[in-house]
Amino acid sequence: KNTVLLMGYQAEGTRGRTIMDKKETVKIHGREVPINAQIEMIDGFSGHADYNEMLAWLMPFNKPPRNTFMVHGEEEASRSMAEKIKQTYNWNVTIPTFGESFELE
């Protein structure tokens, strides 16, 4: 029997996420390939800070930035984090769309 061992977070829309969700097939090089293996996950190997760690990292700022940009993470999680930063610190938070640019002073 074959096993696919996934480590860490698998973002939505990725092959890793498709495999993690135990779908019947995964698209590789344009072809649907059957997943004929046992799927196992190991958590705890992420280099990312969690929700509370991010808020704690922001706390010591003496002066809020003019704008805080949320540019990494899934849409729902980014919206939730942006709202929490706004509520907790009263900061201006922007979630840019793909390709959107800003002029910084």
34 and 63 together in one domain:
no
Q: What is the model's pTM? A: 0.58
pLDDT value for 91: 94
Query: How is residue 84 written in tokens?
Result: 């929490």
Element (H, E) at 84: helix 75-89
Instruction: Indicate if 36 and 71 belong to the same structural domain.
Output: no
Q: Of 95 and 50, which is predicted with more confidence?
A: 95
Rounded to an integer, what distance in angstroms lies between the CA atom of residue 85 and that of residue 96?
16
Span 3-57, pLDDT tens digits:
888 887 888 899 999 999 999 999 999 999 999 999 988 876 666 778 888 889 8
Tally of structural domains, the chain: 2
Task: Write out the residue range of the structural domain in which residue 67 sits.
Answer: 51-94
**Ramachandran bin of 15, using left for φ above 0, alpha for ψ from -120 to 50, beta for the remaining angles:** alpha
Helix segments in 5-99, DSSP class H: 15-20, 51-58, 75-89
Is 58 found in the same domain as 38? no
